[in-house]
Structure 1
C-alpha cells in the first residue's frame, strides 16, 4: 500500500518524499475560474481549497514539483474536486487540464463532478481520473457507475467501515485502484453531502463550545423539556450525548485541539485497520491536510511508514494494531474510539 501525502510546495515535496511518501496530491492556486453571467464576474474556486497556503501557487511551481517527484519514481495527483461545477465552466476547465497535461504531466486528476469526469474522458481519452471522496462513493453501485465512465481509482469517504468496504471492493473488482483516509482530519457529517460554510471563522459544526438545547413540544412546555432531558436512551441522557459529541469534536474533528501526542499528531486515524486494508487490496492510504504545516505532514508520513514497515514484517493483525497504538503514543485516546475512522 502506498503512502499518499498532501503537498503545497516543491520544498514540501522534497521533504515528504525523503521521509517515505510514495504519492503526492495537491491543488493549484491559479486564481479563480470566472463564470461570466451578465455584467458580473463571479470567482469560482478551482478545487476544494481556496487560493493560499493549501495550494501550489502556479503552473511553473507545479511543473518543478512533478519533475522532482518523477525523478524519484513518485506520482503527483492534482485536485479538481469541487462536488460540482456550473456546466458553462466545463470548457474553461478542459482548457486548463490540457494546459496542465502539456506543461506539467501530472499522473492523475482528482475529480468529484460526474459530468466533468464524463466530459474530460470523452475529450481527452488518455486522461487518468481518480474519483474524489467529495463524490460520495458510499456503495458498490456508485463504484460501478464511475467504473463505467472510465476512471482508474476510487477515493472512498472517510467513515466507511472495513466490512462495508470489502463488500464494495469484492463486487466492483480488482481492476480499479482504491484509496482510503488513514490519518488526520475528521468531518462532523459526510463531507460530500455537507453544505456548511467553512468561511467567516470556520464551520459552526466544528466548534466544541457550540451550545445545544431541547425545544419543547407545544404541549407540556417546560415539563416536557424536563422529561426529554432526563429520558435515558441506552443509559445516557441528552446532556450525556452532548458531552460525548463535544469530546469527539475536540479529539477527532479538531485533531485533539491541535496538540501532538507523545511524538505524533493526534486526530482521526485508521492505523488499526491496516491489516484489513491490505487484505482487501487497498492501493493508497491518504494523509489528510493540504493546509497543515510541513512538520505535521512529515510526522504523519513517518508514523504511517513506521506502522506499515512493521506490518510488512508479517506480524499478526493484533500485533500490528497494538504496535500502531504504542507508536502513536496516545493509548488512552485510542481506547476511547473518538479518533477512529473505523468507528
Structure 2
C-alpha cells in the first residue's frame, strides 16, 4: 500500500516524498480561471488560497520532481457537479495538465468524467470520495465511465468495503482514508461552503436543547425509552467533534504526530481487502503536520510489513500516535 499525501507548494514535495509518500495529490487555482469565471467558481473543493497551487508552472515542477523520485502526482477536480457550460474550459484545462505529466485526475462529476474520457481517452480518472460511492452499483457505474480508481468515502464499515470490492469487476484500484480531518456529514451529499475560513456546519461550543414535537395533536417525546440520556448523547457528540473533526484544535500528540481521525489500526484489514493507496487528508495543513502524518503512516506500515499481528499492530499504532487511551475510546476511528 502506498501513502498518498497532500501537497500545496513545490517546497513541500521533496520533504513529503523523503518522509515516505509515493503518491501526491494537489489542487490548482490559476489566476486565468478566476479572471474568466470569478473567485466563487472553484476548480476543486478548496478555494483560491494556501490549499491550492498557483499556476501550471508550479504543478509541472512538482510533477518533474516527483517523477524523478518515482512518485505519482494526482490533481483534484473534485467538485460533485460543475455547470455544463464550463465543460469546454474544463476539458481544455485537463489537456494542459495532462501535457505536463499529471498521472491522474481526481473527479466526482459523472458528466465531466464522461466528457473527459470522450475527449481524452488516455486520461486516468480516480473517483473522488465526493462522488459518494457507497455501494457496488456505484462502483460499476463509474467503471462504465472509464474510471481506474475508486476513493472510498469516510466511515464505510470494513465489512461493507469487503462486499463492495468482492462484487466489483475488472482491474479497478481502491483507495481509503487513513489519517486526519473527519467530516460531520457524508461529504458527497454536503453543500456546506469552506469559503469562510473552514466549514461552519459544526462547532463543539454550540449548545442543544431537547424539545417535544406535536404530531396530530399528540405530543411525541424524542427522549429514548432506554439507553443514554439526551445530554449524554450531546456530550459524546461534542467530544467526537473536538477529537475527530476538529483534530484537537490542531495540536499534535506527545510524539509530534497529528491527532484526529485515523485508520492506522485497520491497516491489516485494508491490506487484505486490496486497498492500494492510503490517503492523508489536509491540503491546507502545514508542512510539519503533513510530513509528520506521512512518517506516522510509514512507521505503522513498517510494523505491518515486519509481520506484526492485528492486535499487536493496534496497540503499537496507539503508542506511536501517543494517545492509546483516546485510540481505545473510538472517537478518532475511521473504521471501528
Give TM-score scaled by structure 2 length. Answer: 0.94
State the partner residue of 1:181.
177
Looking at structure 1, the residues matched to 76 and 197 of structure 2 have their Cα atoms a distance apart, in angstroms, of 24
Looking at structure 1, the residues matched to 38 and 179 of structure 2 have their Cα atoms a distance apart, in angstroms, of 38
Q: Deviations over 1:246-295 (max 9, x none)?
A: 00000000001211111111000000110001111101000000000000
Structure 2: segments with no counterpart, 5+ residues: none
1:108-187 matches, within 5 Å, as 108-173=104-169, 175-187=171-183
State the partner residue of 1:9.
9
1:236 to 228, 234, 248: 228
Counting matched residue pairs gives 333
Looking at structure 2, the residues matched to 32 and 133 of structure 1 have their Cα atoms a distance apart, in angstroms, of 27
Looking at structure 2, the residues matched to 306 and 49 of structure 1 have their Cα atoms a distance apart, in angstroms, of 30
State the partner residue of 1:253.
245
Contact 1:187 1:253 in 2 (8 A): yes
Contact 1:158 1:181 in 2 (8 A): yes
Structure 1: segments with no counterpart, 5+ residues: none
State the partner residue of 2:24.
24
Looking at structure 2, the residues matched to 257 and 34 of structure 1 have their Cα atoms a distance apart, in angstroms, of 32
- Tell me the CA shift for residue 41 of structure 1: 6.0
Looking at structure 1, the residues matched to 183 and 274 of structure 2 have their Cα atoms a distance apart, in angstroms, of 25
Looking at structure 1, the residues matched to 84 and 34 of structure 2 have their Cα atoms a distance apart, in angstroms, of 12
Contact 2:315 2:324 in 1 (8 A): no
**Cα 1:26–1:151, aligned 2, differ >3 Å: closer, same or farther?**
same
Looking at structure 2, the residues matched to 82 and 29 of structure 1 have their Cα atoms a distance apart, in angstroms, of 13
- What SS does structure 2 have at the residue aligned with 1:89? helix
Matched, 1:48 2:40: no
**Cα 1:165–1:115, aligned 2, differ >3 Å: closer, same or farther?**
same
Matched, 1:211 2:207: yes
Contact 2:46 2:194 in 1 (8 A): no
Contact 2:39 2:48 in 1 (8 A): no
Runs of 4+ in 1 over 6 A off after TM superposition: none
